[in-house]
Amino acid sequence: MGPFRLLTAYLPIFLAFVLHTSIPSVAGEEAIRPVVVTKVSGTVNPGMADYISSCVHQASTRDAECLVIQLDTPGGLAQSMRSIVKTIFASPVPVVVYVGPSGARAASAGVMITLAADIAAMAPGTNIGAAHPVNLGQKEMDETMSDKVVNDMVAYVRSIAERRNRNSEWPEKAVRESVSVTEKEALELNVIDLVAADLDALLSRIDGWELPGKEGVRTAGAERVVLTETLRDKVLKIISDPNVAYLLMMIGLAGLYFELSHPGTIFPGVVGAISLILAFFAFQTLPVNYAGILLIGLALVLFILEMKITSYGLLSLGGIICLFLGSLMLFRETGGLRLSWSVLLPTVIMVSGFFVAVAALVFRAQVSRPRTGDAGLIGEVGLVKNTIAPEGKVFVHGELWRAVAKDPIPEGEKVRVTGIKGLVLDVEKAEDD
């Protein structure tokens, strides 16, 4: 058989082999798109918003099938919640919010985050709801302002539910009446899409799930990429609480103040500097009112001046007033968590007391008679060891000194130091008390 006939005979077999091996390879490449999974818990704050935004970006970069956010939150800042909702809506990758594990909840701001997901799921033994806006730690809003805030939040949550084709009546009750439901009730009310016992069951249930405007989700056999919080995320999440950020700033100011009033102690200055840096790192993510920061800074200046100027407490009083007003004004209205009175008042009282006490100690040290060095000998009482006529020796402050006096003073008499010239003391006879 010639070469041409051999090629003609085996060419169909060769082509069939190539097609058989290449087509499954392409399908396999399509099937290995990963599923990105992350756990999010705690209050809704700028740290959480930043972390979820980072997760969405990483899922998009990996061309993931979907991003699964396992959520457990009591709620938090409205501004941060809106930021998370916008991030989910803008995500090119389908976002699945899974309220879990059992015992978890999606309360307050967590309701909006769950409703915004492409697929909303809950684990058995979880609950969702109680989304009425609150203003924790501050004075109560008047009725008109309260109605405005509630109506704004109702319109917002209804728009989210309608965009995802979910029940928009129940979310309104969650805002107006603070109602909360279990996972079974949420499924019956069309608040969520499904209930899954765990992550494995969730991925199995959503395999093949079709989403309007996006590709269907294919999770069967997909690799799982688990994202965890970095150290930066953890630190930002903790200090993004307004109460923690405020305490850090107060610790920082107190530490620097102590270092300035007692140079060389080092430790308070180091702790104060670190605390201030962390506080200002948190402030870049919080709705800070810079008038509040200026008032607190002015309070620090007044406390420092108290150490230099005799004001009979007026500068300290002004510092306390500035510190209190600055603390009240530090964070702007957000419609969510705020600086709590239970943190603000004790902190202002303790920090003000600390500043005043240190200033008083410094002032007392400045006006008190020196206890060391040459000046510390003035006024000390000693004993004549060699008769002074007009020069002799006296024992003062544990040391033997040369001394002179206007009048002769015999050995054994007590003398008082009135001056010092070089290494010679001016003394006079001490009067008996």
DSSP letters of 322-354? HHHHHHHHSB---SS----HHHHHHHHHHHHHH
Residue 348 CB partners (closer than 8 Å, separation 6+): 320, 323, 324, 327
Q: Is residue 157 within 8 Å of residue 111, measured between CB atoms?
A: yes
Task: Give the active site residue among 22, 41, 86, 148.
Answer: 148
Nearest alpha-carbon partner for 68 in 92, 89, 40, 41: 40
| Annotated catalytic residue 60 | no
Euclidean distance between CA atoms 97 and 121, whole angstroms: 6
Q: Is residue 227 within 8 Å of residue 38, measured between CB atoms?
A: yes
Count CB atoms within 10 A of the CB of residue 258.
18
Count CB atoms within 10 A of the CB of residue 129.
25
- What's the token pair of residue 105? 């909840």
| Annotated catalytic residue 148 | yes
Half-sphere exposure (Cβ direction) of 74: Cα atoms closer than 13 Å: 4
Q: Which residues pair with 12 in a beta bridge?
A: none
**Three-state helix/strand/coil letters over 250-273:** HHHHHHHHHHHHCCCCCHHHHHHH
Q: Is residue 427 within 8 Å of residue 390, measured between CB atoms?
A: no
Task: Give the active site residue among 108, 168, 275, 327.
Answer: 108
Known catalytic residues are: 108, 148
